């Protein structure tokens, strides 16, 4: 026998939607991908001169390899300063660098859960978690976001799902793919539940720079939760997914934070996976990014307004306007349709790739799409989508 059980745990073939896309592309037909989270493909790119200058500034320090298991102190200090400016206290000694949020999740799962333990995740949820849970041999259980209440967390249901094997609650805010943002009342209640059951909160804030109609982003790190792991990185924040730079900020009760940092240090030290040149470039990148980030946020906000206005006109579609992030989950309210076939028909007729809601454990019939695209391209796409839905 050559393989472990994990080799049989993952799908060995593409689903029908992706087989249809691949066949179209092999015939030379163009497809507009409204799923990819890579904003570079939408023309949003960190300015090359600023990137070049930051890497040039970092080069002398990175030439001689002197790794730090937590990440280079200058990078962690710059990230701590970023949080301080947002009114959040995360000292540099409580920050660990990682090569992206996916690895940050893996570190947190391995830190908090034994084989067979449970991690509570939102439903709808992102398929990434199932893969990481399989790798870590932990079990995912779900709490519900209620669409009729603006995708609000059902806190009573969440608490009912906690068992003696539950080790942590994952919170994604702004949420992918619904665009929901948990408000202060929800976060305080979530912190009370975490304290009552002695659970950690894993707070995914990769879309933290992109929220609409709010003065600030409510953050679990500013509540009384006993232990919070705040995850973020440069992929969405600076439109730099290729830099592979993320981090975990740990906050909460002092003894829990200290034990977490000791263990995270050992996990990171086993791999030392973060590029040293990128680490040394962090201070310059955050310093130089301010004007770019302001323009970036304005562009995302404009895309969101265009998409919400157009989709709200469709007779057979219903939308809870996203409050944050890059994605919208659109409910089909027309005659009953098979969800996957609906999206295949959209692909064949309009050359638009969106996801069916079942990819995200979403009840009812939905399509999931990003609204971050070049405005002219987005306008044509959503108009085609509305025409398709109304037919």
Token reading at 112: 């908090």
Classify domain 48-288 by CATH number: 3.40.640.10
By the 8 A CB rule, do 235 and 36 touch? no
What percent of the chain stands above pLDDT 90? 95
Q: Do 206 and 233 touch, CB atoms closer than 8 A?
A: yes
The mean pLDDT of 13-37, rounded to a whole number, is 93
A 10 A CB-CB count for 26 gives 8
> Residue 14: is its pLDDT beyond 90?
no
Is the pLDDT at 191 greater than 80? The verdict is yes
Q: Is 80 exceeded by the pLDDT of residue 9?
A: no
148-168 burial: b if 16+ Cβ within 10 Å, else e: eeebbbbbeebbeebeeebbb
Reported pTM = 0.97
Name residues whose C-beta falls within 8 Å of residue 43's C-beta, 6 or more positions apart in sequence. 374
pLDDT digit string, tens, across residues 51-82: 999 999 999 999 999 999 999 999 999 999 99
Tell me if the domain spanning 13-45+291-390 has CATH number 3.90.1150.10: yes
Q: How many Å apart are CA 111 and CA 180, to the nearest integer?
A: 28
CATH 3.90.1150.10 domain extents, the chain: 13-45+291-390
Average pLDDT over every residue of 268-275: 96
For residue 245, give both structure tokens.
């730079």
**How far is it, in rounded angstroms, from Cα 8 to Cα 11?**
8
**Cis peptide, bond prior to residue 386, ω within 30 of zero:** no
Q: What is the DSSP letter of 271?
A: T
CATH 3.40.640.10 residue ranges in the chain?
Answer: 48-288
Q: What is the mean pLDDT of residues 232-248?
A: 97
> How far apart, in whole angstroms, are the C-alpha atoms of residue 311 and residue 58?
45
How far is it, in rounded angstroms, from Cα 277 to Cα 51?
Answer: 12
**Closest among 233, 372, 362, 363 to 301, alpha carbons compared:** 372
Q: Is 96 helix (H, G, I), strand (E, B) or coil?
A: strand
Given a cut of 90, whether residue 8 has pLDDT beyond it is no
3-state class of 54 per DSSP? helix
pLDDT of res. 1 = 67
The 10s digit of each residue's pLDDT in 357-383 is: 999 999 999 999 999 999 999 999 999
**Mean of pLDDT values over 248-272:** 98
């Amino acid at each position: 026998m050559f393989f472990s059980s994990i080799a049989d745990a993952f799908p060995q073939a593409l689903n029908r939607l992706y087989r249809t896309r691949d066949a179209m592309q092999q015939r030379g037909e163009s497809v507009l991908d409204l799923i990819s989270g890579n904003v570079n493909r939408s023309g949003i790119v960190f300015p090359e001169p600023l990137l070049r200058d930051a890497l040039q500034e970092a080069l002398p320090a990175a030439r001689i390899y002197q790794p730090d298991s937590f990440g280079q102190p200058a990078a962690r200090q710059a990230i701590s300063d970023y949080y301080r400016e947002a009114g959040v206290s995360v000292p540099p000694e409580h920050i660990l660098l990682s090569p992206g949020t996916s690895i940050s999740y893996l570190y947190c799962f391995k830190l908090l859960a034994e084989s067979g333990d449970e991690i509570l995740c939102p439903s709808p949820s992102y398929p990434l978690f199932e893969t990481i849970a399989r790798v870590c041999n932990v079990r995912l259980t779900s709490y519900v976001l209620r669409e009729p209440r603006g995708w609000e967390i059902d806190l009573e249901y969440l608490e009912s799902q906690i068992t003696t094997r539950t080790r942590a609650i994952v919170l994604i805010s702004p949420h992918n793919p619904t665009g929901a943002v948990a408000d202060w009342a929800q976060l305080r209640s979530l912190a009370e539940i975490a304290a009552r059951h002695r659970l950690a909160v894993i707070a995914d804030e990769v879309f933290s720079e992109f929220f609409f109609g709010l003065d600030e982003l409510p953050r679990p790190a500013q509540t009384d939760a006993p232990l919070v792991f705040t995850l973020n990185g440069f992929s969405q924040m600076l439109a730099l997914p290729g830099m592979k730079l993320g981090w975990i900020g740990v906050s909460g009760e002092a003894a829990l934070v200290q034990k977490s940092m000791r263990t995270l240090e050992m996990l990171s030290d086993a791999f030392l996976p973060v590029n040293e040149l990128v680490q040394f470039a962090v201070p310059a990148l955050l310093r130089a990014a301010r004007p770019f980030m302001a323009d970036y946020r304005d562009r995302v906000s404009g895309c969101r307004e265009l998409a919400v206005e157009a989709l709200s006109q469709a007779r057979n579609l219903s939308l809870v306007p996203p409050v944050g992030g890059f994605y919208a989950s659109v409910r089909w309210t027309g005659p009953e349709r098979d969800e996957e076939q609906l999206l295949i028909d959209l692909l064949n007729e309009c050359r638009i790739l969106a996801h069916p809601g079942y990819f995200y454990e979403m009840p009812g019939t939905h399509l999931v799409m990003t609204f971050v695209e070049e405005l002219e391209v987005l306008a044509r796409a959503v108009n085609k989508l509305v025409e398709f839905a109304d037919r």
